[in-house]
Amino acid sequence: MKRRQALTTAAFGLGSATLAACGGRRETQRRAASTSTVTGDQHPRIRWRMATSWPESLDIVYGGAMTIAERVAQMSHGYFEITPHAAGELVPGLQVLDAVQQGSVECGHTGSYYYIGKDPAFAFGTAIPFGLNAQQQNAWLYEGGGNEAMDRLFEDFGVLGFPAGNSGPQMGGWFKRQVNTVADLQGLKMRIPGLGGKVMAALGVNVQVLPGGEIFLALERGAIDAAEWIGPYDDGKLGLWKAAKYYYYPGWHDPSASLHAFVNRKAWEKLPDAYQHMFRTAAREVNLQMLASYDHRNSEALGPLVSKGITLLPFSREILGAAEKASLELSEDYASKHQHFRRIYKQWSRFRETISRWNQLGQPGHASPAGEVA
């Protein structure tokens, strides 16, 4: 019995070490084994369901949920199983957090800014207009106190949140007609979530919030006049170029977009420490891999998309200037009314100022002042 138990322990330790970074391999394996080893009744068979906000056709973003499930299964040798579900299978795509909060599913994969109706501070977990790029966002989350700041918000809703993906820079969206001035935006029906949607509403846009799987039909049938999603790779997969021909940039509303794996706190507390470690490790891998995938595939997809006859256009300086002004006013207003937003905004703003100064010195030609199109 002791020999069998020892072999099981070793297997769990080895499974965890496979995701360790290169360099110092023996020490990394030792540390992973010490944090992920489970014995005896500490490795129960656990089955979780993961609701997501994505259709299966979007292989990168839905693939993030799949990767979490695959890595956790590998590290636990099948003892800890997570089954991802596409948007609409268990709950609508924009109700993932609600399902996790209520405990109807144990975990979910979504963008936190879909839930600014609960608290506008949820926007910081995904994107703030004219805010941080992907590298800066990860620096804030992992090293600049961002995860800790968001944890205090998530705790009020009975969940834990783990960064689990980033789209990198996004495009500004698809429009059925050209928009050159703020006057051109008046009455426009556009799908755009988060604080970017609030900014557009302040500029006169009739904002709609739709999950990814519903955007094409709404745009094609005229229920909306414009829509933003992510970038060339996923936008092409959704076929948005068939429904609108003007493709605008930059994505000022989402300079990058972090995604989160949310976990119900009660379900999390029932997990052995080793399983918690596995979940965290898998989420970190997805956060790294998704950004690399989007940067690579968007760069390859842009040319073929343009060749389909679309018109690639920059937002005018008038629209960008008005949007930046409205974004600042909106943030200041939220900070005056909402405790979590005020607390995070103050800390986030200090971080942004400091890292932007460094980026402008350390990355000449790559960093531009806020609101200026490079």
The mean per-residue pLDDT over the stretch 43-53 comes to: 96
Write out pLDDT tens, residues 276-293.
999 999 999 999 999 999
Predicted TM-score of the model (pTM):
0.85
Task: Tell me what the mean pLDDT of segment 12-29 comes to.
Answer: 40
pLDDT of residue 362: 77
**Is the model more confident about 40 or about 353?**
353
pLDDT at 108 over 60: yes
Q: In what order do the strands lie in the sheet with 189-191?
A: 206-208, 189-191, 226-227, 173-175, 246-249, 311-314
What phi, psi does 263 have (nearest 5°)? -130, 135
User: What is residue 128's predicted lDDT score, i.e. its pLDDT?
Assistant: 97
pLDDT > 70 in the chain, percent = 86
298-323 per-position pLDDT tens digit:
999 999 999 999 999 999 999 999 99
With beta carbons less than 8 A apart as the criterion, state whether 211 and 147 touch. no
- Digit-coded pLDDT (tens) for 259-271: 999 999 999 999 9
In DSSP terms, 50 is beta-bridged to: 84, 107
What is the model's pLDDT at position 364?
66
Place of tokens 């030792």: 30
- The model's pLDDT over 133-176, given as tens digits with 9 standing for 90+, comes to 999 999 999 999 999 999 999 999 999 999 999 999 999 999 99
At residue 363 the predicted structure's pLDDT band, cuts being 50, 70 and 90, is confident
In the chain, the percentage of residues whose pLDDT exceeds 90 is: 84
- Alpha helix locations (H) across the chain? 2-17, 25-36, 59-75, 96-102, 134-142, 146-155, 194-202, 215-220, 232-238, 265-269, 273-306, 317-337, 339-362
The answer to whether the CB of 107 falls within 8 A of the CB of 262 is: yes
Distance between CA atoms of residues 319 and 326, nearest Å: 10
